[in-house]
Protein backbone atom coordinates (compact mmCIF):
# COMPACT_ATOMS: atom_id res chain seq x y z
CA UNK A 1 0.00 0.00 0.00
CA UNK A 2 1.62 3.27 -1.10
CA UNK A 3 1.59 6.49 0.90
CA UNK A 4 -1.13 8.11 -1.20
CA UNK A 5 -3.56 5.21 -0.72
CA UNK A 6 -2.77 5.12 2.99
CA UNK A 7 -3.53 8.80 3.34
CA UNK A 8 -6.87 8.26 1.59
CA UNK A 9 -7.89 5.44 3.96
CA UNK A 10 -6.94 7.47 7.02
CA UNK A 11 -8.77 10.49 5.63
CA UNK A 12 -11.91 8.47 4.92
CA UNK A 13 -12.41 7.37 8.52
CA UNK A 14 -11.44 10.78 9.91
CA UNK A 15 -13.95 12.56 7.69
CA UNK A 16 -16.63 9.91 8.34
CA UNK A 17 -16.18 10.53 12.07
CA UNK A 18 -16.41 14.30 11.60
CA UNK A 19 -19.47 14.08 9.32
CA UNK A 20 -21.35 11.91 11.84
CA UNK A 21 -20.84 14.65 14.41
CA UNK A 22 -21.84 17.48 12.09
CA UNK A 23 -24.57 17.32 9.42
CA UNK A 24 -27.53 16.86 9.87
CA UNK A 25 -27.10 15.74 13.50
CA UNK A 26 -25.40 18.85 14.95
CA UNK A 27 -28.00 21.51 14.04
CA UNK A 28 -30.81 19.15 15.11
CA UNK A 29 -28.95 18.48 18.38
CA UNK A 30 -28.60 22.22 18.96
CA UNK A 31 -32.30 22.68 18.20
CA UNK A 32 -33.09 19.90 20.73
CA UNK A 33 -31.01 21.73 23.36
CA UNK A 34 -33.09 24.87 22.87
CA UNK A 35 -30.80 26.94 20.64
CA UNK A 36 -32.34 29.60 18.37
CA UNK A 37 -31.29 30.38 14.77
CA UNK A 38 -28.41 32.67 15.76
CA UNK A 39 -27.05 30.16 18.28
CA UNK A 40 -27.41 27.27 15.82
CA UNK A 41 -25.43 29.16 13.20
CA UNK A 42 -22.74 29.93 15.77
CA UNK A 43 -22.58 26.30 16.96
CA UNK A 44 -22.18 24.96 13.43
CA UNK A 45 -19.63 27.61 12.50
CA UNK A 46 -17.49 27.69 15.66
CA UNK A 47 -15.46 24.57 14.83
CA UNK A 48 -14.40 26.21 11.60
CA UNK A 49 -13.33 29.33 13.50
CA UNK A 50 -10.64 27.13 15.04
CA UNK A 51 -9.22 26.57 11.58
CA UNK A 52 -9.08 30.30 10.93
CA UNK A 53 -6.53 30.70 13.70
CA UNK A 54 -4.64 27.42 13.51
CA UNK A 55 -4.54 26.13 9.91
CA UNK A 56 -1.84 28.56 8.80
CA UNK A 57 0.45 27.85 11.81
CA UNK A 58 -0.14 24.10 11.41
CA UNK A 59 0.78 24.14 7.72
CA UNK A 60 3.85 26.30 8.32
CA UNK A 61 4.92 24.11 11.24
CA UNK A 62 4.73 20.99 9.06
CA UNK A 63 7.21 22.64 6.69
CA UNK A 64 9.64 22.71 9.61
CA UNK A 65 9.08 19.62 11.78
CA UNK A 66 7.70 17.25 9.16
CA UNK A 67 4.27 16.16 7.97
CA UNK A 68 3.84 12.90 9.92
CA UNK A 69 4.03 14.38 13.41
CA UNK A 70 1.58 17.11 12.49
CA UNK A 71 -0.83 14.67 10.86
CA UNK A 72 -0.83 12.43 13.92
CA UNK A 73 -1.55 15.38 16.20
CA UNK A 74 -4.67 16.18 14.20
CA UNK A 75 -5.79 12.55 14.18
CA UNK A 76 -5.56 12.39 17.98
CA UNK A 77 -8.21 15.12 18.10
CA UNK A 78 -10.41 13.16 15.66
CA UNK A 79 -10.16 10.15 18.00
CA UNK A 80 -10.72 11.81 21.39
CA UNK A 81 -13.07 14.78 21.09
CA UNK A 82 -16.23 12.95 19.82
CA UNK A 83 -16.53 11.19 23.19
CA UNK A 84 -16.78 14.55 24.97
CA UNK A 85 -20.17 15.16 23.32
CA UNK A 86 -21.53 12.62 25.82
CA UNK A 87 -21.09 15.31 28.50
CA UNK A 88 -23.30 17.86 26.72
CA UNK A 89 -26.58 18.83 28.40
CA UNK A 90 -26.86 22.44 27.15
CA UNK A 91 -25.92 24.26 23.99
CA UNK A 92 -23.38 26.50 25.75
CA UNK A 93 -21.17 23.47 26.46
CA UNK A 94 -21.77 22.27 22.90
CA UNK A 95 -20.18 25.50 21.64
CA UNK A 96 -16.98 24.80 23.59
CA UNK A 97 -16.72 21.20 22.39
CA UNK A 98 -17.31 22.22 18.79
CA UNK A 99 -14.47 24.73 19.06
CA UNK A 100 -12.12 22.00 20.35
CA UNK A 101 -13.29 19.54 17.69
CA UNK A 102 -12.23 22.09 15.08
CA UNK A 103 -8.57 21.41 15.93
CA UNK A 104 -8.94 18.07 14.12
CA UNK A 105 -9.42 19.54 10.65
CA UNK A 106 -7.37 22.65 11.46
CA UNK A 107 -4.26 20.54 11.96
CA UNK A 108 -4.94 17.63 9.63
CA UNK A 109 -6.42 19.44 6.60
CA UNK A 110 -3.61 21.68 5.29
CA UNK A 111 -0.88 19.16 6.16
CA UNK A 112 -2.57 16.32 4.27
CA UNK A 113 -2.93 18.57 1.22
CA UNK A 114 0.74 19.54 1.44
CA UNK A 115 1.71 15.84 1.50
CA UNK A 116 -0.25 15.26 -1.71
CA UNK A 117 1.34 18.25 -3.43
CA UNK A 118 4.80 17.08 -2.38
CA UNK A 119 4.21 14.00 -4.53
CA UNK A 120 1.94 15.30 -7.31
CA UNK A 121 4.37 17.16 -9.58
CA UNK A 122 2.50 18.58 -12.57
CA UNK A 123 -0.73 16.78 -11.66
CA UNK A 124 -1.65 18.88 -8.65
CA UNK A 125 -5.22 19.54 -9.73
CA UNK A 126 -5.92 15.90 -10.54
CA UNK A 127 -4.19 14.37 -7.51
CA UNK A 128 -5.64 16.90 -5.05
CA UNK A 129 -9.06 16.19 -6.54
CA UNK A 130 -8.62 12.41 -6.23
CA UNK A 131 -7.47 12.76 -2.65
CA UNK A 132 -10.31 15.10 -1.77
CA UNK A 133 -12.89 12.91 -3.53
CA UNK A 134 -11.78 9.72 -1.79
CA UNK A 135 -11.59 11.26 1.65
CA UNK A 136 -14.90 13.16 1.46
CA UNK A 137 -16.62 9.88 0.70
CA UNK A 138 -16.53 9.82 4.49
CA UNK A 139 -18.68 12.98 4.42
CA UNK A 140 -20.96 11.38 1.85
CA UNK A 141 -21.51 8.32 4.02
CA UNK A 142 -21.46 10.10 7.37
CA UNK A 143 -24.25 12.62 6.71
CA UNK A 144 -27.03 10.19 5.69
CA UNK A 145 -25.83 7.56 8.19
CA UNK A 146 -26.12 10.08 11.01
CA UNK A 147 -29.56 11.15 9.80
CA UNK A 148 -30.67 7.53 9.39
CA UNK A 149 -29.52 6.53 12.89
CA UNK A 150 -31.37 9.49 14.36
CA UNK A 151 -34.48 8.69 12.30
CA UNK A 152 -34.49 5.04 13.36
CA UNK A 153 -33.79 5.69 17.04
CA UNK A 154 -36.28 8.51 17.54
CA UNK A 155 -39.84 7.30 18.13
CA UNK A 156 -41.57 10.66 17.80
CA UNK A 157 -38.91 13.29 18.50
CA UNK A 158 -35.21 12.69 19.34
CA UNK A 159 -34.06 12.38 22.96
CA UNK A 160 -30.57 12.91 24.40
CA UNK A 161 -29.55 9.24 24.15
CA UNK A 162 -30.32 9.18 20.41
CA UNK A 163 -27.69 11.87 19.82
CA UNK A 164 -25.21 10.22 22.18
CA UNK A 165 -25.32 6.97 20.17
CA UNK A 166 -24.25 8.88 17.09
CA UNK A 167 -21.35 10.57 18.89
CA UNK A 168 -20.17 7.19 20.20
CA UNK A 169 -20.05 5.98 16.60
CA UNK A 170 -18.19 9.15 15.63
CA UNK A 171 -15.55 8.51 18.30
CA UNK A 172 -15.09 4.90 17.18
CA UNK A 173 -14.46 5.99 13.57
CA UNK A 174 -11.99 8.66 14.67
CA UNK A 175 -10.12 6.16 16.83
CA UNK A 176 -9.88 3.74 13.87
CA UNK A 177 -8.39 6.51 11.74
CA UNK A 178 -5.70 7.14 14.36
CA UNK A 179 -4.89 3.42 14.68
CA UNK A 180 -4.48 3.07 10.91
CA UNK A 181 -2.17 6.08 10.85
CA UNK A 182 -0.04 4.71 13.68
CA UNK A 183 0.30 1.38 11.86
CA UNK A 184 1.35 2.78 8.50
CA UNK A 185 2.99 6.19 9.12
CA UNK A 186 6.19 4.75 10.53
CA UNK A 187 9.82 5.44 9.82
CA UNK A 188 11.80 8.62 9.45
CA UNK A 189 10.86 11.31 7.01
CA UNK A 190 13.30 13.50 5.19
CA UNK A 191 13.18 17.20 5.90
CA UNK A 192 15.57 20.09 5.92
CA UNK A 193 17.26 20.38 9.33
CA UNK A 194 17.40 23.74 11.06
CA UNK A 195 20.48 24.97 12.88
CA UNK A 196 18.50 26.22 15.86
CA UNK A 197 15.38 27.84 17.24
CA UNK A 198 16.20 31.27 15.87
CA UNK A 199 16.63 29.95 12.33
CA UNK A 200 13.45 27.88 12.63
CA UNK A 201 11.42 30.89 13.73
CA UNK A 202 12.96 32.94 10.93
CA UNK A 203 12.01 30.40 8.30
CA UNK A 204 8.55 30.07 9.82
CA UNK A 205 7.95 33.84 9.69
CA UNK A 206 9.50 34.37 6.24
CA UNK A 207 7.43 31.59 4.70
CA UNK A 208 4.21 33.06 6.06
CA UNK A 209 5.18 36.57 4.95
CA UNK A 210 6.10 35.43 1.44
CA UNK A 211 2.82 33.61 0.93
CA UNK A 212 0.54 36.24 2.47
CA UNK A 213 2.17 39.08 0.50
CA UNK A 214 1.02 37.52 -2.80
CA UNK A 215 -2.47 38.87 -3.38
CA UNK A 216 -3.09 36.25 -6.08
CA UNK A 217 -2.91 33.61 -3.35
CA UNK A 218 -5.23 35.57 -1.10
CA UNK A 219 -7.81 36.31 -3.82
CA UNK A 220 -7.80 32.75 -5.20
CA UNK A 221 -8.20 31.35 -1.69
CA UNK A 222 -11.02 33.83 -1.10
CA UNK A 223 -12.98 32.40 -4.03
CA UNK A 224 -13.20 29.04 -2.29
CA UNK A 225 -13.78 30.85 1.00
CA UNK A 226 -16.82 32.61 -0.46
CA UNK A 227 -18.07 29.39 -2.02
CA UNK A 228 -17.77 27.80 1.40
CA UNK A 229 -19.88 30.60 2.82
CA UNK A 230 -22.82 28.88 1.14
CA UNK A 231 -21.59 25.40 2.05
CA UNK A 232 -21.50 26.35 5.73
CA UNK A 233 -24.96 27.89 5.52
CA UNK A 234 -26.37 24.71 3.98
CA UNK A 235 -24.71 22.53 6.61
CA UNK A 236 -26.45 24.50 9.34
CA UNK A 237 -29.84 25.28 7.87
CA UNK A 238 -30.61 22.87 5.01
CA UNK A 239 -31.54 20.12 7.54
CA UNK A 240 -33.72 22.55 9.50
CA UNK A 241 -35.31 23.93 6.32
CA UNK A 242 -35.94 20.40 5.06
CA UNK A 243 -37.56 19.23 8.31
CA UNK A 244 -39.43 22.34 9.52
CA UNK A 245 -40.37 24.05 6.23
CA UNK A 246 -40.39 21.37 3.51
CA UNK A 247 -41.83 18.71 5.85
CA UNK A 248 -39.18 16.07 5.13
CA UNK A 249 -37.81 13.56 7.66
CA UNK A 250 -34.29 13.48 9.10
CA UNK A 251 -33.14 10.75 6.71
CA UNK A 252 -34.26 12.74 3.67
CA UNK A 253 -32.48 15.78 5.09
CA UNK A 254 -29.28 13.72 5.29
CA UNK A 255 -29.78 12.50 1.73
CA UNK A 256 -29.99 16.07 0.44
CA UNK A 257 -26.56 16.76 1.89
CA UNK A 258 -25.26 13.34 0.83
CA UNK A 259 -26.18 13.72 -2.85
CA UNK A 260 -24.42 17.08 -2.97
CA UNK A 261 -21.27 15.46 -1.59
CA UNK A 262 -21.62 12.50 -3.99
CA UNK A 263 -21.77 14.75 -7.04
CA UNK A 264 -18.72 16.66 -5.80
CA UNK A 265 -16.79 13.41 -5.30
CA UNK A 266 -17.60 12.04 -8.74
CA UNK A 267 -16.91 15.30 -10.54
CA UNK A 268 -13.73 16.55 -8.88
CA UNK A 269 -11.12 14.21 -10.44
CA UNK A 270 -12.41 14.94 -13.93
CA UNK A 271 -12.54 18.66 -13.27
CA UNK A 272 -9.07 18.53 -11.71
CA UNK A 273 -7.61 16.91 -14.82
CA UNK A 274 -9.35 19.47 -17.04
CA UNK A 275 -7.94 22.30 -14.94
CA UNK A 276 -4.43 20.81 -15.20
CA UNK A 277 -4.61 20.81 -18.99
CA UNK A 278 -6.73 23.81 -19.91
CA UNK A 279 -6.50 26.28 -17.02
CA UNK A 280 -8.15 26.80 -13.67
CA UNK A 281 -9.85 30.20 -13.90
CA UNK A 282 -12.80 29.21 -16.14
CA UNK A 283 -13.72 26.34 -13.83
CA UNK A 284 -13.57 28.54 -10.74
CA UNK A 285 -15.79 31.21 -12.33
CA UNK A 286 -18.30 28.68 -13.68
CA UNK A 287 -18.51 26.95 -10.33
CA UNK A 288 -19.21 30.19 -8.48
CA UNK A 289 -22.11 30.97 -10.83
CA UNK A 290 -23.58 27.48 -10.47
CA UNK A 291 -23.31 27.53 -6.67
CA UNK A 292 -24.90 30.97 -6.42
CA UNK A 293 -27.89 30.06 -8.59
CA UNK A 294 -28.59 26.66 -7.01
CA UNK A 295 -28.17 28.04 -3.48
CA UNK A 296 -30.64 30.81 -4.23
CA UNK A 297 -33.15 28.32 -5.67
CA UNK A 298 -33.45 26.23 -2.49
CA UNK A 299 -35.93 28.51 -0.62
CA UNK A 300 -38.20 28.39 -3.69
CA UNK A 301 -38.64 24.61 -3.38
CA UNK A 302 -40.25 22.18 -0.93
CA UNK A 303 -40.52 19.02 -3.02
CA UNK A 304 -37.89 16.45 -2.03
CA UNK A 305 -36.95 15.52 -5.59
CA UNK A 306 -36.64 19.12 -6.74
CA UNK A 307 -34.45 19.86 -3.73
CA UNK A 308 -32.40 16.78 -4.62
CA UNK A 309 -31.84 18.10 -8.16
CA UNK A 310 -30.86 21.51 -6.79
CA UNK A 311 -28.40 19.89 -4.38
CA UNK A 312 -26.92 18.03 -7.36
CA UNK A 313 -26.20 21.26 -9.21
CA UNK A 314 -24.73 22.81 -6.08
CA UNK A 315 -22.41 19.80 -5.73
CA UNK A 316 -21.27 20.19 -9.34
CA UNK A 317 -20.54 23.88 -8.79
CA UNK A 318 -18.56 23.04 -5.66
CA UNK A 319 -16.52 20.50 -7.64
CA UNK A 320 -15.65 23.11 -10.27
CA UNK A 321 -14.35 25.55 -7.65
CA UNK A 322 -12.58 23.15 -5.30
CA UNK A 323 -10.88 21.12 -8.02
CA UNK A 324 -9.04 24.21 -9.23
CA UNK A 325 -8.58 26.78 -6.45
CA UNK A 326 -6.10 24.90 -4.21
CA UNK A 327 -4.15 23.74 -7.27
CA UNK A 328 -3.94 27.33 -8.56
CA UNK A 329 -2.58 28.46 -5.18
CA UNK A 330 0.03 25.70 -5.39
CA UNK A 331 0.95 26.76 -8.94
CA UNK A 332 1.61 30.29 -7.73
CA UNK A 333 3.63 29.35 -4.65
CA UNK A 334 7.15 28.00 -4.36
CA UNK A 335 7.44 24.31 -3.46
CA UNK A 336 9.23 24.86 -0.14
CA UNK A 337 6.18 26.77 1.12
CA UNK A 338 3.47 24.26 0.17
CA UNK A 339 2.54 23.72 3.81
CA UNK A 340 2.30 27.45 4.47
CA UNK A 341 0.36 27.99 1.24
CA UNK A 342 -2.16 25.31 2.16
CA UNK A 343 -2.39 26.75 5.66
CA UNK A 344 -3.19 30.16 4.19
CA UNK A 345 -5.67 28.60 1.78
CA UNK A 346 -7.25 26.61 4.62
CA UNK A 347 -7.50 29.67 6.85
CA UNK A 348 -9.38 31.70 4.23
CA UNK A 349 -11.43 28.61 3.37
CA UNK A 350 -12.44 28.37 7.02
CA UNK A 351 -13.26 32.07 7.30
CA UNK A 352 -15.91 31.45 4.66
CA UNK A 353 -17.02 28.13 6.12
CA UNK A 354 -17.39 29.57 9.61
CA UNK A 355 -19.02 32.80 8.44
CA UNK A 356 -21.65 30.94 6.41
CA UNK A 357 -23.76 29.50 9.24
CA UNK A 358 -23.17 32.54 11.44
CA UNK A 359 -24.24 34.99 8.73
CA UNK A 360 -27.17 32.78 7.73
CA UNK A 361 -28.27 32.57 11.37
CA UNK A 362 -28.16 36.35 11.77
CA UNK A 363 -30.12 36.88 8.57
CA UNK A 364 -32.71 34.19 9.33
CA UNK A 365 -33.36 35.70 12.74
CA UNK A 366 -34.54 38.83 10.88
CA UNK A 367 -35.96 37.59 7.56
CA UNK A 368 -37.20 34.52 5.66
CA UNK A 369 -35.04 31.96 3.86
CA UNK A 370 -35.53 33.50 0.42
CA UNK A 371 -34.01 36.97 0.99
CA UNK A 372 -31.35 35.54 3.31
CA UNK A 373 -30.16 32.99 0.75
CA UNK A 374 -30.32 35.49 -2.11
CA UNK A 375 -28.16 37.97 -0.22
CA UNK A 376 -25.51 35.30 0.37
CA UNK A 377 -25.66 33.99 -3.20
CA UNK A 378 -25.11 37.49 -4.59
CA UNK A 379 -21.75 37.67 -2.78
CA UNK A 380 -20.49 34.78 -4.91
CA UNK A 381 -21.47 36.50 -8.14
CA UNK A 382 -19.90 39.80 -7.04
CA UNK A 383 -16.54 38.11 -6.41
CA UNK A 384 -16.03 36.97 -10.01
CA UNK A 385 -14.93 40.35 -11.51
CA UNK A 386 -12.48 40.88 -8.65
CA UNK A 387 -10.94 37.47 -9.28
CA UNK A 388 -10.66 38.03 -13.04
CA UNK A 389 -8.94 41.39 -12.57
CA UNK A 390 -6.51 40.21 -9.89
CA UNK A 391 -5.50 36.68 -10.96
CA UNK A 392 -4.28 36.24 -14.51
CA UNK A 393 -2.30 33.04 -13.87
CA UNK A 394 -4.20 30.18 -15.55
CA UNK A 395 -2.38 27.29 -13.88
CA UNK A 396 -2.02 25.36 -17.12
CA UNK A 397 0.79 22.84 -17.42
CA UNK A 398 2.36 21.24 -20.45
CA UNK A 399 1.12 17.73 -21.33
CA UNK A 400 4.56 16.23 -20.67
CA UNK A 401 4.68 17.79 -17.20
CA UNK A 402 1.11 16.75 -16.44
CA UNK A 403 2.04 13.10 -16.93
CA UNK A 404 4.61 13.14 -14.12
CA UNK A 405 4.18 12.19 -10.49
CA UNK A 406 7.27 13.02 -8.54
> Does 402 reside within a domain?
no
pLDDT at 83: 94
Tell me what percent of the residues of the chain surpass a pLDDT of 90: 26
Average pLDDT, the chain: 80
| Residue 252 falls inside a structural domain | yes
Q: What pLDDT sits at residue 204?
A: 54
Q: Are 38 and 359 in contact (CB under 8 A)?
A: no
Does 241 map to a domain?
A: yes
Structural domain boundaries, residue 41: 3-185+197-391
Residue 398, φ and ψ in degrees, nearest 5:
-70, 150
Task: Look up residue 243 and give its DSSP letter.
Answer: I
Return d(Cα 139, Cα 48) in angstroms, integer. Answer: 16
Q: Is residue 132 in a domain?
A: yes
Q: pLDDT for 250-287, tens place per residue?
A: 788 888 888 887 888 888 888 888 888 888 888 999 99
Q: How confident is the model at residue 201 (pLDDT cuts 50, 70, 90)?
A: low
Domain count, the chain: 1
* pLDDT value at residue 205: 61
Per this entry, what is the length of the chain?
406
Nearest to 30 by CA among 359, 375, 357, 376: 357
Specify if 109 maps to a domain: yes
What pLDDT, in 10s, does the model give residues 278-315? 888 889 999 999 999 999 999 999 999 999 999 999 99
What is the DSSP code (8-state) at residue 333?
Answer: S
Instruction: Tell whether 13 is covered by a domain.
Output: yes
226: part of which helix (H) or strand (E)? helix 215-240
- Specify whether the CB–CB gap between 108 and 71 falls below 8 A: yes
Q: Where are the beta strands (DSSP E) in 29-149?
A: none
Residue 74 falls inside a structural domain: yes
Q: Find out whether the peptide bond into 118 is cis, omega within 30 degrees of 0.
A: no
The answer to whether residue 259 sits within a structural domain is: yes
Least confident of 55-59, 184-188, 245-249, 320-324: 184-188
CA angle 262, 307, 134 (to 5 degrees): 10
75-131 confidence digits (pLDDT tens): 899 999 999 999 998 988 999 999 999 888 778 877 777 777 666 666 666 677 777
Q: At what angle do helices 304-332 and 250-278 cross, to 10 degrees?
A: 40
Q: Nearest 5°: phi and psi at 142?
A: -65, -40
The CATH number of whichever domain residue 73 belongs to comes to 1.20.1250.20
Amino acid sequence: MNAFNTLCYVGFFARFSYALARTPVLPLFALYLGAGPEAIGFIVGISTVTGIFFKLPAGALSDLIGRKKTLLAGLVVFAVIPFTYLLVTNYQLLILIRFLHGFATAIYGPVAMAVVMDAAGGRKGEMLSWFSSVTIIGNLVGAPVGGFILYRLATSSPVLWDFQVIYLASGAAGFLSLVLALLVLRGKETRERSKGLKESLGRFASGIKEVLSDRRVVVTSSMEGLQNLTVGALEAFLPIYAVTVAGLNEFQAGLLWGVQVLVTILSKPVMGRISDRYGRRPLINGGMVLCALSFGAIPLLQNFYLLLITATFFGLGEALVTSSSAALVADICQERHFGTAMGTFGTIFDVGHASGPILAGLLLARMDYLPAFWIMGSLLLASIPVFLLTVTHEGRVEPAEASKIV
